[in-house]
Structure 1
Amino acid sequence: MNYNAMGYAPLEAIAIGYGNELRSDDGIGQRVAKALHLSNVKSLAVHQLTPELAEALAHADLAVFIDACLMSESSQVQVQSLSPESFKFISGHTADPRSLLALTQAIYGRCPPAWWIKVPGVNFELGYSLSSIAEMGVAIALKKIAQIIDENFSLRL
């Protein structure tokens, strides 16, 4: 592990973008994760949230989850803070990030502060390209992630 001049390990965040890239706008989360290039952020693009992600979360100082949502749910990019909440099961893409945080807490005795970014999409049909609404949402999500990282890490230094 690298340490800064004061002898402290630098703060690190994990960004987990998830969704099905073969279903057009459902791939928003992965697109954001792949486009995210911040030095103190480990970015993972995954098809779905799985229990194996708990180990990486346990070692992070901050977590950001990125997923698509239906335009009918919200026309804006949503950002909400998350707390661990135990649900009955973690089952593929239907898993909620809060369940994964609860699993992380149960197994490792800790989980990082976390945020959930939901980006609206309109086309969830088979296909690889994003709609123009989703493309705009990806750009907004990238800015919001950088803002979350800056605000949270500057408060903790």
Structure 2
Amino acid sequence: MPARPQHTRLVIGIGNPLRGDDGVGALLAEQAGGRSVQQLTPELAAELGELEAVLFIDAWLAPAGGAPQLVEVIPAGAGAPDTHRLEPAQLLAISQALYGRAPAACLLQVPAHAFEHGNTLSAQLQAALPQAQALMQGWLAHHA
């Protein structure tokens, strides 16, 4: 019987913590004991192939009044991926193609408003943070 992976779930925060609201993914991933990356790269596919579930967290240019949302991500490779920046669906498709499996995946999109240099989150994002944290905690509880 094959060995079960040590970690069956992972939270990946996407974004640059030195670009204002873009750092929300790193902040939330740290709170969940996950990891952060400035962008998704093909090298992550091998790790995903060992997981049961993954939660991606990213800043989102939402319409006015947009709230944090959790959406399912299905492996999809719309055309040839840009090897410098991948979307979660493309990374899952690479994992599926190379390793024969991809984990169940969701994307937590947090509405972002300011991307200036610095590590301060906008007031609008700070107001949405409790809802984003609740969505993340719900996902973690479901994938315990």
Normalising by structure 1, report the TM-score. Answer: 0.80
RMSD value, Cα: 2.2
Match of 2:37 in 1: 46
Query: How far is the alpha carbon of 1:74 from its aligned partner?
Result: 6.0
1:109 aligns with 2:105: no
Match of 1:138 in 2: 129
Higher normalized helix content (fraction of residues): 1
Matched letter for residue 100 of structure 1: L
1:123 aligns with 2:138: no
Match of 2:22 in 1: 26
- Asked if the contact 2:30/2:36 (under 8 Å) is kept, the reply is yes
Deviations 1:28-85 (A, max 9, x none): 1111111214xxxxx1111110111111111111010000011327610011111100
Matched letter for residue 66 of structure 1: I
Match of 2:81 in 1: 89
Runs of 4+ displaced beyond 4 Å? 8-11
- Asked if the contact 2:71/2:106 (under 8 Å) is kept, the reply is yes
Which residues in structure 2 correspond to 1:61-76 (within 5 Å)? 61-72=52-63, 75-76=66-67
Residue 120 of structure 2 aligns to a residue in which SS? Answer: coil
Normalising by structure 2, report the TM-score. Answer: 0.86
The number of equivalent residue pairs is: 141
Sort the Cα spacing of 1:30 and 1:122 in 2 relative to 1 into closer, same or farther, 3 A. same
Sort the Cα spacing of 1:81 and 1:55 in 2 relative to 1 into closer, same or farther, 3 A. same
